[in-house]
Chains A and B, each alone.
Chain A
Amino acid sequence: MRATRGIAFRLAVAILVPAGLIFAAAFGYNYFVSRRILLANIEENARNVTAVTVGRIDSVLRAVEKVPQNIAYALEDAAYSRNAVASLLRTVVENNPEIYGATIAFEPGERYGDGFAPYFYKSDDRILSSDLADDSYRYFGWDWYRVPKELGRAVWSEPYDDRGGGNVIMSTYSVPFHAREGDARRFAGIVTADVYLSWLQEIVASIRIARTGYGFLVSRNGTFVTHPRRGQIMNETIFSVAAASGDPRLRAIADEMVRGGAGFAPSRSIVTGRECWIAYAPVPSAGWSLGVIFPRDELLADVSRLNRTVASIGAAGIAFLFAVVVLIARTITKPLRTLSRATRNIGRGDLDFELPAIGPRDEVGRLAGSFAYMRDSLRRHIAELTAATAARERMESELAIAHRIQMGIVPKTFPAFPARREFDLHAVLEPAREVGGDLYDFFLVGDDRLWLTIGDVSGKGVPAALFMALVKTLVKAAARGGASPAAALEAVNGEMAADNDECMFVSVWCGALETATGELRWSSAGHNPPVLARAGGEVSFLAEGGGPVLGVVPGARYAAASFRLRRGDTLCLYTDGVTEAFNGRGEQFSEERLARAVAARRVGSAREVVRGILEDVRSFAGRAPQSDDITVVALRYEGAGGDA
């Protein structure tokens, strides 16, 4: 399962991460650009809304301003009677619905003595009048009189609530007028008009931006003249709201508005407290400032919705892509998992499992094909190996049997002649392989002749073993027939050289001991000369005599030789496996070492001589493998009627 996760995971990462990055880039760019366009539109819209609204307010105010201004002009040029002034005021108040009241306040000492200030105003449906020159009021000490007088120009007063509660908000427009004396102008008084501002609230209230976008108007000192919450009007200032919200941006906007600036800036809504933009612009005639709230989240709702939709489409697309990737990964890894299980089966030696059927056209299919090929090859190979092993085991068991048979051919019971005191005999044959080409034999011919044979067939293994059995049989047959060693060799050579195309040959040494006398007649067919150790310590090799090896020279003649064994003499026969035994340095055991080995053991029994020679050969060879069959036969002569 880990492998599945591995490929699926890597595929998913390799595909989904770039796809996600591309989508995120497109999404981000789209969001950024659409938002920027929207913001530009909002700002444009904000400037338009404020400009239009300010224009409307200003035009109304300008129209209202005309009335007191015209009165002021008229007063400069002509002197009116007190009654004319009163009736002028009454007419003005009567005919201008937006004007609540009006007064003409003369500077004390100007035209009408110590002061003259008739005031006409609406009360229900009637026009009432009063005289502001009353001692208790002293109009020339009030702001509406003093400020325009000192500034020398017309002034709109701070709006005020005549009755409290913000129900009837008014502002007084005061225009100074002058008396002309030639070119000189002398301040003569103030014309005022008290103007209703309820229309102003209607104009501003008509501004609606989204759900919670409102307009509001503040006076020169920041007091709310209009506000969507009526309770705020005349009771709060934009500064107090800014302080309560704790937002420095709103405070900065408040400062700008009071200063008469125009702008569009992010802030916090004075109504909801949420993020918004505020557009603001001054009303030039009155010095007030209009603000419009543009609620940010509501205006961005469209673009937010759009972006949410795009993001959802993107997420769905990536989820789809993920599903596709996982599907592809599974189609790849499922056969791989099956192959993996199959491989474990091979590992356990089960070669009969079913390989998954996979279309041959893709890489996994080819892999499965390779697996099938590997499995078939393994199966075939194992079958061959099994067969070969079985054949080899059969051959080994046959060789083991052959070994036992061959060992059975040579006499191995020692002591061989427990009843004979004249001689002591011992022999050992150690094949280099299971079967070998060495042979030895001994037997009595009649009662007092001991026949000895030792031989070495060329080559090794089964052919040599077959040849060896043949030679032993032929020699024994000849010996039993009463032949001398030389005659026996001639007879056997004649038999063997006849049809010997492979030119196998055998070296044989034969000897016949007359047990009574110690006389030993012998002949050699190309065999290694035996070692004779005299009782006195003299060690010699029997002079090479006889003739060629058996089997290769048809009609060969073999010379006979003889000598006499004396009591205590030891004759040692061997094959070249002894003298040509190699040690690790490539040296041969040699006849010199053999002679020394025999000399060292000559006082012992035949068995001790044989064992001693084998020990010496083994210790000489060390770890070097035995390359040839080793055969040693020792004959110790104890003398006629031996008393050993």
Chain B
Amino acid sequence: MALQVAVEERGEGAFVVAPRGSVDSTTYTVLDERIGRVTASGPRMVILDMRDVDYISSAGVGVIFKARKAVADAGGTLYMAHLRPNVAKVFRIISALPDEQVFESIEELDRYLDRIQRNP
């Protein structure tokens, strides 16, 4: 199953990465390569739009951990939004992502970001 990855820049240093398909042991390198290009630019914020990801294996989770670490090392934050239930369950089991980095939707993420910026 092929994996397509759309990358969109939303303002200064903010990127939305939207994988589409199944992130498994045969396709994870595609996502790794695309996210790697984004994180190499030292982004302030990377949002993973997961609405079109129907499956993620441990190799795919590894890519996201790696991305989170790279973004954090550059002083930014990685967020995830629109997780499907089965994908959300994987992350819940792994329980390695702080809840503040996972959102129902990008709109919810926007509201969260607004809030923390008004009340620093």
Chain B residues with Cβ below 8 Å from A504 are: 62
Task: Give A380 to B16 CA distance when docked, in angstroms.
Answer: 48
Does B58 belong to the interface (CB within 8 Å)? Answer: yes
Contact A503:B69 (CB < 8 A) given known A458-B59, A460-B25: yes
Are A459 and B96 touching (Cβ within 8 A)? no
- Min C-beta distance of B37 to chain A, whole Å: 17
Chain A residues with Cβ below 8 Å from B66 are: 501-503
* Residue in contact with B96 in the complex, picked from A457, A460, A548, A580, CB distance below 8 Å: A548
Residues of chain B from 80 to 120 with CB closer than 8 A to chain A in the complex = 86, 92-97
Are A459 and B58 touching (Cβ within 8 A)? yes
Are B58 and A456 touching (Cβ within 8 A)? yes
Most buried by B among A504, A526, A528, A556: A526
Chain B residues with Cβ below 8 Å from A501 are: 66
Are A459 and B94 touching (Cβ within 8 A)? no
Report the nearest A residue to B94, measured CB to CB. A526
Chain B residues with Cβ below 8 Å from A507 are: 58, 93-94
Are A552 and B95 touching (Cβ within 8 A)? no
Are A526 and B25 touching (Cβ within 8 A)? no
Does A107 belong to the interface (CB within 8 Å)? Answer: no
Most buried by A among B59, B61, B86, B94: B94
Task: Give A115 to B106 CA distance when docked, in angstroms.
Answer: 172
Does B57 belong to the interface (CB within 8 Å)? Answer: yes
Task: Give A628 to B24 CA distance when docked, in angstroms.
Answer: 10
Are A552 and B96 touching (Cβ within 8 A)? yes
Report the nearest A residue to B70, measured CB to CB. A503
* Residue in contact with A502 in the complex, picked from B24, B62, B86, B97, CB distance below 8 Å: B62
Report the nearest A residue to B63, measured CB to CB. A503
Does A627 belong to the interface (CB within 8 Å)? Answer: yes
Are B24 and A526 touching (Cβ within 8 A)? no
Are B61 and A505 touching (Cβ within 8 A)? yes
Report the nearest A residue to B64, measured CB to CB. A503
Are B96 and A458 touching (Cβ within 8 A)? no
Residues of chain A from 527 to 551 with CB closer than 8 A to chain B in the complex = 527-529, 544, 546-549
Chain A residues with Cβ below 8 Å from B95 are: 526, 544, 546-549
* Residue in contact with A544 in the complex, picked from B61, B86, B93, B96, CB distance below 8 Å: B93
* Residue in contact with A505 in the complex, picked from B24, B93, B96, CB distance below 8 Å: B96
- Min C-beta distance of B87 to chain A, whole Å: 12
Are B24 and A627 touching (Cβ within 8 A)? yes
Task: Give A613 to B114 CA distance when docked, in angstroms.
Answer: 49
Chain A residues with Cβ below 8 Å from B94 are: 505, 507, 526, 548-549
* B33-56 contact mask (Cβ, 8 Å, vs A): 1 or 0: 000000000000000000000000
Chain A residues with Cβ below 8 Å from B25 are: 459-460, 627-628
Chain B residues with Cβ below 8 Å from A460 are: 25, 59
Give the secondary structure class of A's interface.
loop
Are A528 and B96 touching (Cβ within 8 A)? no
Task: Give A35 to B59 CA distance when docked, in angstroms.
Answer: 103
Task: Give A459 to B58 CA distance when docked, in angstroms.
Answer: 6
Does A638 belong to the interface (CB within 8 Å)? Answer: no
Most buried by B among A505, A529, A627: A505
- Min C-beta distance of A123 to chain B, whole Å: 144
Report the nearest B residue to A437, measured CB to CB. B58
Does A200 belong to the interface (CB within 8 Å)? Answer: no
Does A576 belong to the interface (CB within 8 Å)? Answer: yes
Does A553 belong to the interface (CB within 8 Å)? Answer: yes
Chain A residues with Cβ below 8 Å from B65 are: 503, 505, 552
Task: Give A178 to B64 CA distance when docked, in angstroms.
Answer: 162
Chain B residues with Cβ below 8 Å from A546 are: 95
Chain B residues with Cβ below 8 Å from A627 are: 24-25
Task: Give A458 to B63 CA distance when docked, in angstroms.
Answer: 10
Report the nearest B residue to A456, measured CB to CB. B58
Are A549 and B96 touching (Cβ within 8 A)? yes
Task: Give A549 to B62 CA distance when docked, in angstroms.
Answer: 11
* B3-28 contact mask (Cβ, 8 Å, vs A): 1 or 0: 00000000000000000000011000
Are B58 and A458 touching (Cβ within 8 A)? yes
Task: Give A606 to B117 CA distance when docked, in angstroms.
Answer: 56
Task: Give A2 to B14 CA distance when docked, in angstroms.
Answer: 76
Chain A residues with Cβ below 8 Å from B58 are: 437, 456-459, 505, 507, 576
Report the nearest B residue to A433, measured CB to CB. B25
Contact A503:B96 (CB < 8 A) given known A459-B25, A627-B24, A628-B57: no
Most buried by A among B86, B93, B95: B95
Chain B residues with Cβ below 8 Å from A552 are: 65, 69, 96
Chain A residues with Cβ below 8 Å from B57 are: 580, 628
Report the nearest B residue to A458, measured CB to CB. B58
- Min C-beta distance of A442 to chain B, whole Å: 22
- Min C-beta distance of B35 to chain A, whole Å: 12
Report the nearest B residue to A545, measured CB to CB. B95
Chain B residues with Cβ below 8 Å from A547 are: 95
* A169-196 contact mask (Cβ, 8 Å, vs B): 1 or 0: 0000000000000000000000000000
Task: Give A623 to B62 CA distance when docked, in angstroms.
Answer: 29
Task: Give A189 to B43 CA distance when docked, in angstroms.
Answer: 164
Task: Give A547 to B63 CA distance when docked, in angstroms.
Answer: 20
Contact A553:B96 (CB < 8 A) given known A627-B24, A628-B57: yes
Can you list 11 A-B pairs, Cβ within 8 angstroms, ordered by A? A458-B62, A503-B63, A503-B65, A505-B58, A505-B62, A526-B94, A526-B96, A548-B94, A556-B96, A576-B58, A627-B25
Q: Identify 8 new A-B residue pairs, CB closer than 8 A, beyond the known A457-B58, A528-B93.
A: A460-B25, A527-B93, A547-B95, A549-B95, A576-B58, A588-B86, A627-B24, A628-B57
Binding site for A on B (CB under 8 A): 24-25, 57-59, 61-63, 65-66, 69, 86, 92-97
| The 5 residue pairs across chains A and B that have the minimum distance between CB atoms | A548-B96, A458-B58, A526-B94, A503-B66, A503-B65
